[in-house]
Structure 1
Amino acid sequence: MNYRHGFHAGNFADVLKHVAWLELLRLMTAKDKALLVLDTHAGSGGYDLGGEQAARTGEWQDGIGRLLEAPAAPAVVRRYVEAVRTYDRKFGRHAGKLRHYPGSPRITRPLLRAGDRCVLCEAHAAEAALLKREFSGDKAIELRAADGYAALKALLPPPERRGLVLIDPPFEKTDEFERVARALAQALKRFATGVYALWYPLKDAASVAALRSAVAALAPRALDIELALARPLPPDGLQASGMIIVNPPWTFDEALQPAVSWLAQALGHDPSAQGTLRWLAGAPS
């Protein structure tokens, strides 16, 4: 996968990730207690779908592009689409077409309350520079041009005693699945009650299975959400991805179950597309 997320902004994997992330934020900010939000691989914050990177791949057209006028979407999907439209409207109107897409930092920002703390990490120099420009002058956001895995150790446990962490690495390195599992294990040792959202690509089934097994052994409660555009998976290209949620808040699974099934039908390549939700650990009785 190409590290520069602009090539993939708004694609089917972003849809799944941001639908889940927005619902986590909504539920976590419903309580009147301060919250740390940590994004370990924040990217550049927002993306120009008319720019060179997004235009080269056009992936967004088969992702968010399919949902803009989709009828009868579940509530969590409707909220996500509205969040995308709201971000796009900041830049003006574009003859009815979507032009700008919010990355996870821009999904996060409108839900932050006074007293909440948001730390965005990005190690890639060019992406970090864009992220800094995106949030220039915004005192509610702390930017760190640094390794997100190191930030987990530095910032956890948070003084707020409540934390929501997004771990969304590019999976360019061959040992990324192992690095993610180690980072999550260390984070849980430091802050066992935090809510962690881990995005992963599903290309190497063995690596994904090993990650799921590691999480099941580590976490008291963990939920796995997967979206596959076709079954069996084609050998080329990214056609499936997932999210592992550790310590999901109450009602999160109930909201996401119908949404993931609906997304499979809306975004899938054929009737074999699947959206699944399964408990890796701590399934409700």
Structure 2
Amino acid sequence: MESLFGTGYSDTMNYRHAFHAGNFADVLKHAVIAQCLDHLKAKPKPFRVIDSHAGVGAYDLTGDAARRSPEWQAGIARVLETKRPAAVEAALAPYLKVVKAMNTGADLTAYPGSPELAARLMRQDDRAHLCELHEADAKTLDARYARDARIKVERRDGYKALGALVPPREKRGLVLVDPPFEHRDEMAHMAEAIKPALTKWPTGTFVFWRPLKDLWASERFDVGLAEWLFEEGLAAPEKILRADLWVRDLESEGKLAGAGVVVINPPFTLEGHLLALLPWLAEALAQGDGAGWRLDGAVTDDSLSVEEF
């Protein structure tokens, strides 16, 4: 029987998320997504989740990739092993509920991607639309959710699909844009793709994930997006939230040291949860000197001067 976890990579791509599943970047990203979904469930009206780069849905932590590069051991495993204050527990509760449901034994063997988080946190009348361009990954994703009538899987370029998928019929929901960042100009591609979607659905909750590799590129994206939203009248400053985490000095060599999300129209509860969570994560998941975090509205007094978004 073919595994429904899949490999998490494409034949034409070097990036393999199975090597990184459950790492510090996933912990922050998925905690934010789970909080957003939990907030959407507070109202009885249904909502829709749109995932532009869905991957394979879930990951096998006993597989070859995870064994060769067990980044999850310094991420989700450390979160579960570390004593969590009440405020941190509340911030992580929706996310950890899914992780624990997938791991009923003593050991961590599976980890949810964003599609699996959505599938397990959605209600009967909620819906998800998952885009994945790579043929093998889309096939794995489709097989995983073939019997779930709430979820549609489409082999499609998520960037090109966004403008056509919003606003959803439900008028409520979450859009996740989480590309693999293999291309040097990925930030620019993401910026260009999301403009039509934000223009058509300015009230939706959008979550954009990006690594903190090229600080200039990430700052240019964050500030440019915020200023463009302000100029177009699509969002006020309080409707933008940036949450970043780095586990060692961002200038250090080696594996990814930092990552985070920009959230448009965040739940009003999210900032408070992140204020409790981020300093705890920075300490619990630190991999060296210089670990830290930031939580702001993207445009600050220290923002870099950027070109037109």
Which of the five TM-score ranges fits, normalised by the shorter chain? Answer: over 0.9
* Structure 1 position 2, deviation (Å): 4.2
Match among 46, 58, 65 for residue 46 of structure 1 = 58
Residues 7-61 of structure 1, C-alpha deviations (whole Å, 9 max, x = no match): 1111111111101110011011211212111011111011111101111111111
Other structure's SS at 2:290 match: coil
Between the aligned partners of 2:84 and 2:121, the Cα distance in structure 1 is: 25
Match among 99, 102, 108 for residue 84 of structure 1 = 99
C-alpha root-mean-square deviation of aligned residues, in Å?
1.7
Between the aligned partners of 1:228 and 1:277, the Cα distance in structure 2 is: 12
Between the aligned partners of 2:155 and 2:225, the Cα distance in structure 1 is: 28
Aligned to 2:307: none
Contact 1:222 / 1:246 at 8 angstroms: preserved in 2? yes
1:109 aligns with 2:109: no
What letter corresponds to residue 153 of structure 1 in structure 2?
A: G
The correspondence of residues 184-223 of structure 1 with structure 2, limited to 5 A, is 184-219=194-229, 220=235, 221-223=239-241
What letter corresponds to residue 66 of structure 2 in structure 1?
A: A
* Structure 1 position 72, deviation (Å): 2.1
Contact 2:250 / 2:257 at 8 angstroms: preserved in 1? no
Aligned to 2:252: 234
* Unmatched runs of 5 consecutive residues or more in structure 1: none
* Structure 1 position 237, deviation (Å): 1.9
Residues 209-240 of structure 1, C-alpha deviations (whole Å, 9 max, x = no match): 11012211133221110001123431332010
Q: How many residues align?
A: 277
What letter corresponds to residue 107 of structure 1 in structure 2?
A: L
Contact 1:39 / 1:166 at 8 angstroms: preserved in 2? yes
Match among 283, 288, 309 for residue 265 of structure 1 = 283
Other structure's SS at 1:268 match: coil
Match among 36, 44, 48 for residue 32 of structure 1 = 44
Contact 1:4 / 1:127 at 8 angstroms: preserved in 2? no
Residues 88-144 of structure 1, C-alpha deviations (whole Å, 9 max, x = no match): 23xxx3xx2101111111111122123222101111122112112221211111001
Contact 1:257 / 1:276 at 8 angstroms: preserved in 2? no
What letter corresponds to residue 135 of structure 2 in structure 1?
A: A
- Indicate the percent of aligned positions where both proteins have the same amino acid: 41
Aligned to 2:108: 98
Between the aligned partners of 1:79 and 1:181, the Cα distance in structure 2 is: 29
What letter corresponds to residue 152 of structure 1 in structure 2?
A: L
Between the aligned partners of 2:262 and 2:138, the Cα distance in structure 1 is: 25
What letter corresponds to residue 253 of structure 2 in structure 1?
A: P
1:253 aligns with 2:271: yes
Between the aligned partners of 1:53 and 1:189, the Cα distance in structure 2 is: 39
Contact 1:223 / 1:281 at 8 angstroms: preserved in 2? no
The correspondence of residues 50-61 of structure 1 with structure 2, limited to 5 A, is 50-61=62-73
What letter corresponds to residue 31 of structure 2 in structure 1?
A: V
Q: TM-score, normalised by structure 1?
A: 0.92
* Unmatched runs of 5 consecutive residues or more in structure 2: 1-12, 230-234, 301-309
4+ aligned runs moved over 6 Å, structure 1: none
What letter corresponds to residue 298 of structure 2 in structure 1?
A: L
* Structure 1 position 280, deviation (Å): 2.4
Query: Structure 2 vs 1, CA of residues 36 and 130 (structure 1 numbering), >3 Å: closer, same or farther?
Result: same
